[in-house]
Structure formats: C-alpha cells, structure tokens
Structure 1
Amino acid sequence: MDRLQGILTGTPMPAPADIIRHLSFAAIDFESAGAAPGETDQPVQIGIARIDGTAGAIRTWTSYIAVTRPVRWTASKIHGITTEMLAEAPPYISLWPPIKEHLEGTVAIGHNHSTEQRFLRQFPGHGFGPWLDTLALARACLPALPSHSLGDIASALGLTEQISAIVPGKTWHDALYDATASLCILLHLIRELQLEDAPLDRLGFALTF
C-alpha cells in the first residue's frame, strides 16, 4: 500500500528488485534532550545526508529543534547541545517540509535506527522507507571488529577524514556528522562488496520493508 501511494504521488518507495546504484539513500540521525523515567524524550537536533545514485554527490541538511523542557545534563554531556542553544530553534512540527523533501523516495538509513523511527512517528503516515540499519550491516560485514559504534567502524574503514571533509567543523554526536558517517559507511561497503549492480534485497539482512 505504501508503494502504491508513492506511485500515485510520483515518489515511489524503493522496492526489493531495484538496482542499488540507481537508488537514493538518505541517512538520518537525531540527538535528544534525554528523559527521566515516565517522561517522553524530545529531539533537539536532526541531521540528514542524502545521495541520489551511488555515484552522486552527498547533500546535507541539519537543524536544531525547539524543546518544551530543559535538555538534561546527561544528554548535553554527550552531544554538547544546551537548552540555551535552542532558544531560537524552530518547533519540530515546522520542519516537516524539509524532512519530507530529504527523505521521500529514498532508502532511509540509520545506525540502530529505532530512535529515528520513533521521532518520525510524530508525522503519522509519512511513508518513508524501506529502512536500512548500518549497525546490522557492519556486524554482518565486519564481524571481527571489537566495537560497531559509528566512530569505530569509520576509523576501521579509513573514512574519518572523508566524513570530516563533507561536514567540516563538526564531530561525533552531532546529528549531521553521525548521519553523514552512516551514509559514508554504507557507500563504502557497497563498493567494497561490489553490490552497485545488485538488487536492493541483497542487503535484505539489514533492511526492513
């Protein structure tokens, strides 16, 4: 049904038989405010890195997000975002147009993407997907790595300089940096495994349709 809706609107969802090199991929990452027991967490930053065709150029977009309660110090300690930094940030609901623009018609990518899917549920019926988990992909392709964090995978594959060149001035736990890292890891593994001309379902072990 989601793919039929996409066809009717002119933006079909990628299908299992689609050839990887012709697909669009968009990696997404959120940083959050943190939550005490019984509270609902809130996003404080979103980052998306997109490529149309595996030989295309990577495009990036990011935004801070307004919150309705203070950012917890435990979360701020990780990503460095404070409540004061969000004083002029837009409300999350107002970011729907750029989010839709960057994710529509793509294979959506996240590194253990449960948080990303949860925050996107605030836009009911968005229809993004399928989803590809770079954590599952890296665990399958690089089982000998002692850690499969984004930073350790990127370092092991020699991608850190490339990621930093795409998003200069940013670092780990910045939403755009982490999203860009996920996309670069995926593209590297696709090329190393020579999967450009394979159907998307060759990555089925890391995909959710």
Structure 2
Amino acid sequence: MKISEITFTAIDFESAGTAPGKTDAPVQIGTCTWSLTGNVSDTWISYIHTDQDITWSAQKVHGITHDDLRDAPKLMLLWPSIKRRLKNKAVVAHGHGTEKRFLHAFPGHGFGPWIDTLQLSRAAWPDLPSHSLGDLCKTLGLEEKVTAIVPEKTWHDALYDAVASILLLEKIISDFELQDADISTLENTDTREWRKQRY
C-alpha cells in the first residue's frame, strides 16, 4: 500500500524506570494521528496507575510523581482507547522497543506495521551527531511546530514526544519524496552508512 493512502498513529510511553529485581512499568501514554491528506489530529494523553515506585532517575527525566498517578487508570482499563487509536493504523514510535514491550500487556493485539523514526532518521541523515528525538527536532527546525500543536507540554511528556515523532516522519516523507512509495520503504530502513560512521 502507498504511504499516501495510510493513516499513521504515533505512540509514546513514559515509564517508572528500572529497579533491581523489578520490570519497568508505564506511567503515561500519549498518541496522535496523522496522514498526508490531513493534519495532526486526535491527540490523546493519559497517566497510568502503577504500584511500582518511580525511580529518581526516571522522575528527573519526565517529572511524573505518584501524586500525578493517584486517580489514573490502570493500563488494562485504557485498552478501548488504545485499540481505537492504533487499530488499522501504521504505528509510529521513536525507538519502538519500549512501546512494543508495554503493549505486550495486550497479547495478540495485531497492531502494525511499526515505523521506527529512530531507524528512519539514522538512514536519512547518517552524518548527524545525535539521533535523539529532541536533537533531531531542534536540528531540523521542528520544535516550534511541535509546541504549536501541544502548547504547555515539553520533552519527555508522552504526548509531546508522540507529536514530535509524527512530525519527524512527515519531514522524512516530504524531504525524500516518499509519498508514492510502498509502506515497506518505511519499515525496512538501511542504516549501514550510520553504522559505518558510528563504529
């Protein structure tokens, strides 16, 4: 299927952080939807309840505390909202490992194809010194556009990062004129040039 015919939903989780003997847990989710025929839409964010302690290092990154989560729903209760936004969409994340891992709470959900803007940006601009989401958006002039869509949010807020991911995808599709390419072009990225420079 052509990229121009597809609707994309970006997703981002913020987490409690890893601690010895414990697995990580999500504490916030953000999503937004976009296609070539429309603007960013259906922006959605929710805190997620967890009984797990939020590590100091994680709290330093995103600023989320247990006070923020006091009345938040558990992840399983968010399933209808997540399913509605991700079903029949191409799912976008920047370094999608965390997002895939947390969605394993819903076995057999069938979401995808998955588009990883981290891998795409490494293939697109292998010579950049950093491919972190924040650095990319600053370098490529996207930060103001993200802030215009989600004012009063900032980096490491799940919705802000989801919007940043989708605008980064839009930039890649536009710069490399991929509108009429097959979706597999975004799934199977060649990062060999980036790896040469890194190693």
Structure 2 length-normalised TM: 0.92
Tell me the C-alpha RMSD between the 2 structures.
1.2
Q: Are the counterparts in 2 of residues 109 and 134 from structure 1 also a CA contact under 8 Å? A: yes
Aligned to 2:67: 84
Q: Over residues 41-93 of structure 1, what are the superposed CA-to-partner deviations in whole Å (9 max), with x where a residue is unaligned?
A: 11000001111x31212121110000112211111010000011110111111
Q: CA deviation at 1:203?
A: 2.2
Hey, what's the Cα distance between the residues in 1 that align with 2:187 and 2:100? 18
Alignment of 1:119 onto 2:102: yes
Runs of 5+ consecutive residues of structure 2 not aligned to the other structure: 191-199
Identity %, equivalent residues? 52
Aligned to 1:13: none
The structure 1 segments of at least 4 consecutive aligned residues displaced by more than 2 Å after TM superposition are 202-207
Alignment of 1:48 onto 2:31: yes
Runs of 5+ consecutive residues of structure 1 not aligned to the other structure: 1-17
Hey, what's the Cα distance between the residues in 2 that align with 1:201 and 1:40? 33
Hey, what's the Cα distance between the residues in 2 that align with 1:33 and 1:81? 9
Structure 1 length-normalised TM: 0.87
Residues 204, 123 of structure 1: alpha-carbon distance in 2 compared, 3 angstrom cutoff: closer
Q: Are the counterparts in 1 of residues 116 and 187 from structure 2 also a CA contact under 8 Å? A: no
Q: CA deviation at 1:157?
A: 1.1
2:46 to 53, 63, 67: 63
Aligned to 1:98: 81
Hey, what's the Cα distance between the residues in 2 that align with 1:204 and 1:170? 29
Hey, what's the Cα distance between the residues in 2 that align with 1:202 and 1:67? 37
Q: Which amino acid aligns with 2:36?
A: T
Q: Which amino acid aligns with 2:37?
A: A
Q: Are the counterparts in 2 of residues 24 and 50 from structure 1 also a CA contact under 8 Å? A: yes
Aligned to 2:196: none
Hey, what's the Cα distance between the residues in 2 that align with 1:66 and 1:202? 37
Hey, what's the Cα distance between the residues in 2 that align with 1:92 and 1:81? 16
SS at 2:188's partner residue? helix
Q: Which amino acid aligns with 2:137?
A: A
1:72 to 45, 52, 55: 55
